[in-house]
Structures are given as C-alpha cells and as structure tokens.
Structure 1
Amino acid sequence: MAIKWKGVFPALTTKFTADDELDLSLFGKNLEAQLEAGVEGIILGGSLGEASVLTTAEKESLVLHAVEQVNGKVPVVVNIAEGATREAIRQAALAKQWGADGLMLLPPMRYRADHRETVTYFKSVAASTDLPIMLYNNPVDYKIDITLEMFDELAEVPNISAVKESTRDVTNVIRMRNRFGDRFSILCGVDTLTLEELVTGADGLVAGLVCAFPAETVALYKLIKAGKIQEALPLYRWFMPLLELDIHPKLVQYIKLAEAQTGIGSEYVRAPRLALVGEERKRVLGVIEQALATRPELPAYHHLNVTA
C-alpha cells in the first residue's frame, strides 16, 4: 500500500493485561475507535507503545493483529528504534514480512552518531527495504538532530518520504518547506504544537492523546486544514491541558490513564514503568476528569474538505 503521509497517525499504546501479557482484545477495541474517528494511518511500537520492553514475538503479534483488523483501510506503520544498524535492517525485514506498509525510523539509539554516521545509518536501512520511511526527528529526547544538511543528502533516497517533526521548533516546518518544497511530507510530532505546525505547512500529525480522544483529534486536524481556524480554536483550548500530558517523561502512564477513563484502554504498563499512584495520579486524573466534564460537542467533521 502506498502511503499518503497526511492526516492523523496515532502512535498507539500497547495494551497489557494484569498478568503482563498482550491484551489484543483491548488493543482491537482502541484500534476500532481510531478507525471510526477517521485516522489515516496507525503507528505501532513507538515510544508510546513501550517498544523498548516488547519482545520480537510480541511485536509480531501486534502487527499481525493490526494488519488483519485494519484490512487495508489505512496503512500500518512499524517503528524502528535500534542501536545497531544490522538490527534495524533486520527489524525492517520483519516488518515487511509481517505485512506492515511502512516504517518510522529513529536515529541510532544510545550512541550519539555524528552527521556522517546518522546519514549512513538511515541510508543503509532505507536501501534494505522498499517500504516507505518516515524519519523521526526528536533531538530533545533522542539527542540527535536530523539537520537540514542531513536532509540534503537523504533527499536522494526515494523511499525516505516523510519526517515526524518533533524538534519543538515550529519554524523548522517553514525551513523544511523553504528548502525542500514538498519533497518530504511533514507530520507534527508534538501534540501541543498541533495547530501551529498544521497552519505553517505540516501535512498531518503523529499524535499521542488521540489514543484516548480519537474523534477530537481528527476533528481538530480537519477543522484546521479546512481553514476553519475560529472553529478549531475553542476545541484546541479545551484540548490543551490534555495535550500537555504528551510532553512529560511519563507520557505513557498519563495517556494510558486517559485511555482507561474514556473506556478504550487500561492503566497497565510494563516494568520498569509503574502505574501512577498517590498525588501524581490524583493530579493527572483531575486534568482528565475536568476535560471529560467539559467535553465539547464536535461539529460534523468527517465531510470537511481537506485539501492542504
């Protein structure tokens, strides 16, 4: 399946049971809510998906389940976050074998690669597969900035086709557009910058709080891209306290608590993460409950003409 890197791509959480096994039934319930809301792709095994504590067999189960349930409606994208080039290439091959439609690729983990090493890493993985690739540019968390100069060299690689823009610098969207035009699709990767980056030229977003609030996320995207900014602003203001849960080190626990409160997830995480307790849980729960108490009635957004 060819991927149009636009619209809302949820970075899905991985659902676990109380016995620390995959909860594919609950995963499927959440996935169905995403599809009903109108997402245009899904991403498995990202940071929010707790990929670092999943076994290869568990990743396979998640991908196979998603591919079967999605049944071609939207592309299934698998995240790759590895320290060794050889292992990243192996994961790319497995993703293709399992039926994935594309990859999201992080720079090398743990080792802070320089310009030449980072570009070579990306080119090596891309050359090993025909799957379309979205690079994940998040120097805040992963300490490697995929610079414009790196993109100059990567532009010659045909299947590197998009970037998840998480530098936290909104003007980077403008820089990318000025330098490369439409060569790379740009997806906002920071929930709290959704409106700003969509207005300045991003094609879509890789979202976190969409896991708990799929309809609100897709409605926000469509209102903004349809040019209905005045209608989007009240929804964005309501959403912002929730969106801020996405930029905390415990975003997994925070977003899973939100999923549990909206009935499409649970609070179970895998160690070393621990479920929230005490005052921290009370505080985050207060944010979620306030949002639910004031949850807005959404406009009829599915029909909106999104052309940009």
Structure 2
Amino acid sequence: MVQWEGVMPAVTTKFTEADTLDLKMFEINISAQLDAGVHGIVLGGTLGEASTLTADEKRILIEKTVAIVQSKVPVIINIAEQTTKAAIEAAHHAEKYGAKGLMILPPMRYKATDFETITYFKAIAQSTDLPIMIYNNPVDYKIEVTLDMFEEMLQQKNIKAVKESTRDITNITRIKNRFGNRLNILCGVDTLALESMMAGADGWVAGLVCAFPAETVAIYKLVKTGRIKEALEIYRWFMPLLELDISPQLVQNIKLAEVATGIGTENVRPPRLPLQGAERKRVLSIIEQGIKARPKLPII
C-alpha cells in the first residue's frame, strides 16, 4: 500500500558506456536510497530519462526495483504518454510487473483543454486498481490541474495524491483547505521542499536525493518532528545543489553529483550528452563545494 508521504526519490536511470541499462550501478543507488530511509521509489520520470526508454527497458527497471526493495517501500512508475490508449496500456504493464502506484502526467505534446485533461486522467484511473499521484507541473508541461479539476477527478477513489510543482506555495494551503486529507501533497520542486512541508505538504518527490539521500531524508524527518532550525541548517547548505534540479540539464547535473558521492555514473542517453566546457566546470564547482561542506547529520 502506498502512503503518499515522506521522501520519494525520482531516480535516474543508469546506463553503460555502450548505452545499455547499467543494472549493477542502479542497484547500488537504490540500495543507498533504502539505507537512508526513503519512503518510495519513483521510476521513469524526467530524471529517469523516461522519454528515451523502450517499453522493455521500463519493464526491466520495474522488475529489478521490485526485486531490490523487497516490499520495504512501494515502487511507483511514471506515465507520460501522448495517447490515452498508450497510457492505459502502460498502467496495465506497471501493475503486471509489480509496481504499487502510478505517477501520471497530463497528455504529452498536445495542450489538452481542462475537459480533455480530466477525461484523460479519469480514463486511466478507471482502467487500474493502482493508486495514482497526479503530476501537476504547468511550468514545464503547460497544463495546470486546477482545484476545480481535482474536485471532479477525486470521484475516482484511486486518485490519491498530487505532485505539486506549480511553484506556488500558497497552492498547498488551498488544496488542504478544500480537500483536507482526501488529497495528499508531495512537493515536486527541490528548491521549495522545506517551505512546502512547513505549509503542510506530506512529502517530497526529490531529485538531488539521488546523490544525497541521507541529507534529504534528514530534512524531511526534522521538519516533521518540529526541529525546524536543524532542518534549515541542512537545507541552506543543500540549496546550491538543489538548484541543479531546476535546469534543462538536470539529468546531467544530478548524474555528476551521483558520481561525486559514489552512487552513479555520468552516462546519459543521447541526444543528452555530458556537460561540457564552462558549464561543466561551474556545476562541478558547486558539487565540490557541497561535498567539502557536507554537514554532520543529527540523530533523529
């Protein structure tokens, strides 16, 4: 059962230099996440380079992750498709391969109307028993899921949560005021995570957690136990690194950070390429400074 709370890494997909899945390094990273105490694993998001993965690769990643986690935490797969038919098919495959929940984006490429977007989400929800988190990111995907839209969609009992990425912190209060506990909220923007949780978000679908799982989990636990000053100290150290997540090159940035902490490689799938020149130096400098100043975590 998915609780839709806590820290849920949107994990990167590991590739070999020959552009095949690197399942050995993938397992090292997932194990590091589990050791840090994360509350779920999200596969196939933007960070997971989902748009470049084949259907068979997605199957392998789900099955491998299910085997690694051994029911310690739920495995959630992202669905980002261009057609309703393909999205329903992806949901069926996810359930078959062992995923315990879905994160669903609005239709890709086509800017659907509110009615079309609602119809799309409801059709997927009606096709599966898996619990669903709606990914609301109008900044990047140009479709906003409004509170009125959620009101109608929550008629589907398996729509349980929202990955809140509108960049508007007040939206958390609006959601809580209108829906109470009917809709769990997970922050989807690394640089707004502490503020979102203080405003009432139930958790954090995180990016830099891929390289720094212990620090990410510590911030969540400290906030939820009221130890705000200690959480702030870690968060302020973390911020230059967290800002690497709000970039078109977030995958390359975070994979460089994973290399620095020993739980990843730099390999990306073309057309993405490793960072070059001055930008590479800038990102490496941020990572190196973060590593040098890495805080000692309190006992929680």
When normalised by structure 1's length, the TM-score is: 0.97
The residue aligned with 1:125 is 124
Q: Residue type of the partner of 1:160?
A: I
The residue aligned with 1:221 is 220
- Shift in Å, 1:13: 0.1
The residue aligned with 1:299 is 298
SS of corresponding position for 1:164 = strand
User: Deviations for 1:193-222, whole angstroms, at most 9, x for unmatched residues?
Assistant: 011100000000000000000000000110
Q: Work out the percentage of aligned pairs sharing the same amino acid.
A: 64
SS of corresponding position for 1:249 = coil
Q: Residue type of the partner of 1:190?
A: V
The residue aligned with 1:204 is 203
The residue aligned with 1:231 is 230
- Shift in Å, 1:277: 1.3
User: Deviations for 1:277-296, whole angstroms, at most 9, x for unmatched residues?
Assistant: 11111000000000000000
Moved over 3 A (4+): none
- Shift in Å, 1:46: 0.4
- Shift in Å, 1:136: 0.1
The residue aligned with 2:18 is 19
1:100-119 pair list within 5 angstroms: 100-119=99-118
- Shift in Å, 1:264: 0.1
For the pair 1:244 / 2:243, whether they are aligned, the reply is yes
Q: Distance in 1 between matches of 2:38 and 2:19?
A: 28
For the pair 1:33 / 2:32, whether they are aligned, the reply is yes
Q: Distance in 1 between matches of 2:69 and 2:129?
A: 21
For the pair 1:184 / 2:203, whether they are aligned, the reply is no
Q: Residue type of the partner of 1:111?
A: Y
For the pair 1:46 / 2:57, whether they are aligned, the reply is no
Q: Distance in 2 between matches of 1:273 and 1:35?
A: 28
Structure 1 residues without counterparts, runs of 5 or longer: 302-308
- Shift in Å, 1:258: 0.3
The residue aligned with 2:94 is 95
SS of corresponding position for 1:267 = coil
Q: Residue type of the partner of 1:208?
A: G
Q: Residue type of the partner of 2:153?
A: L
SS of corresponding position for 2:7 = strand
The residue aligned with 1:253 is 252
SS of corresponding position for 2:144 = coil
The residue aligned with 1:305 is none
User: Deviations for 1:105-164, whole angstroms, at most 9, x for unmatched residues?
Assistant: 000000000110000000000000000000000000000000011011011110000000
Tell me the C-alpha RMSD between the 2 structures. Answer: 0.5
User: Deviations for 1:202-258, whole angstroms, at most 9, x for unmatched residues?
Assistant: 000000000000000000110011110011111010000000001111100000000
Q: Distance in 2 between matches of 1:230 and 1:64?
A: 40
Q: Residue type of the partner of 1:145?
A: E
Q: Distance in 1 between matches of 2:14 and 2:285?
A: 23
SS of corresponding position for 2:133 = strand
Q: Distance in 1 between matches of 2:107 and 2:114?
A: 12
Q: Distance in 1 between matches of 2:277 and 2:33?
A: 31
The residue aligned with 2:156 is 157
The residue aligned with 1:306 is none
The residue aligned with 1:10 is 9
Q: Residue type of the partner of 2:150?
A: F
Q: Distance in 2 between matches of 1:159 and 1:152?
A: 13
The residue aligned with 1:278 is 277
User: Deviations for 1:70-125, whole angstroms, at most 9, x for unmatched residues?
Assistant: 11000000000001000000000000010100000000000000110000000000
Q: Distance in 2 between matches of 1:159 and 1:13?
A: 26
Q: Distance in 2 between matches of 1:234 and 1:73?
A: 30
